[in-house]
Amino acid sequence: MASNIKIENIKANGFEFTCRTIGTPSSGKNIILLHGFPETSMMWEETMIHLHEHGYYCIAPDMRGYSPKARPKGVKNYAIRDIAKDIIMISKVKGLDEFHLIGHDWGAAIGWAIVGLYPNKITTWLAMSVGHLIPLAKATKYDPAQKKMSAYARAFQLRLLPELVLKGNNFKRLRKECWYLCDNNEIKAYISVLNQPKALTSALHYYRKNWKNMLSIAESLNIKAIETPTTLIWGNKDVALGRKAIIESEQYMKGPYKLVELDASHWLIQEAKESVWETILEHLKNN
């Protein structure tokens, strides 16, 4: 862990979240960063340090299912709306009336919901890898390329078998397909969380609760006309999230919007860190 990153346990929305923080909250200079699967808030450490050097206070929670004391049993407890509320309540505890929001993977999916449900709380929004949820949901149902790319998410709907496969041989599959760009300290940190009782199952419940009904969920989130200044970063070598939903995201943007396409995979921070940092700072400066 970086020496100037603090670990805080924050009680919010009936749970206690393990959060990484750096700096002191300051008006207009607060950022919340949301991780995806199968990572934790540790994915953001270097980025948080970099942003803090530019004057920002950063907080990155281990989200519901990943924090040991925010791991309710049952698929029903992993609805996008509920996880979005977690983040808002964390911001309230920290006294953040308004904040910049950044999310990757499931963190981006949750971020789209937060922007729709709590627009007055969000100064700017930056999504990584995951485009607007309505075109994404439509693509997973109707676009042949995206349907093929989403086969893993359909497999995650099964019970127990995905956990056995992913944990097998000391998380060999996740090491090969997701963590291959991470250093050993990161990998050990992720495994230490996902090895905790019910942690991996809870992480997979994000898919089990939301994936099959994503279109109806997305259409209920007040995201059909987003006015919040938004930047979307996408890697054109992403094997999980294709171009169609990314391109079609623009039609739902009614405020300032920019799409940044990188020559990278889904794992943008690990593979294109400098480009991501440059994009984030330009986004924050211009909005």
Mean pLDDT, to the nearest integer, of 210-231? 97
Sign of CA dihedral 107, 214, 83, 116: positive
92/95 Cα distance (integer angstroms): 5
> Reading across the β-sheet that carries 57-61, which strands appear in turn?
6-12, 15-22, 57-61, 30-34, 99-104, 122-128, 230-235, 257-262
Residues 6-26: pLDDT tens digits? 999 999 999 999 999 999 999
The reported pLDDT for the residue numbered 90 is: 98
pLDDT greater than 70 at residue 239: yes
Among candidates 235, 171, 246, which has minimal Cα distance to 203? Answer: 171
Third-level CATH fold of 6-286: Rossmann fold (3.40.50)
User: What pLDDT does 230 receive?
Assistant: 98
- Calculate mean pLDDT across residues 213-230: 97
What pLDDT band is residue 287 in, cutting at 50, 70 and 90? confident
The answer to whether residue 140 scores a pLDDT higher than 70 is yes
- pLDDT at position 3: 65
Q: Strands 230-235 and 122-128, how do they pair?
A: parallel
Q: Give the pair of three-digit tokens for residue 107.
A: 């963190």
Q: How confident is the model at residue 1 (pLDDT cuts 50, 70, 90)?
A: very low
The pLDDT tens digits of the residues spanning 161-172 come to: 999 999 999 999
Rounded to an integer, the average pLDDT of 252-271 is 98
Mean residue pLDDT across the chain = 97
The answer on pLDDT for 52 being more than 60 is yes
CA dihedral 268, 271, 275, 279 (to 10 degrees): 10
Compute the distance between CA of residue 139 and CA of residue 192 in angstroms, rounded to an integer. Answer: 34
CA atoms of 29 and 27, how far apart (whole Å)? 6
145 falls in which pLDDT band (50, 70, 90)? very high
Burial class (CB in 10 A: 0-12, 13-18, 19+), 269: buried
pLDDT digits (tens, 9 = 90+) for 69-110: 999 999 999 999 999 999 999 999 999 999 999 999 999 999
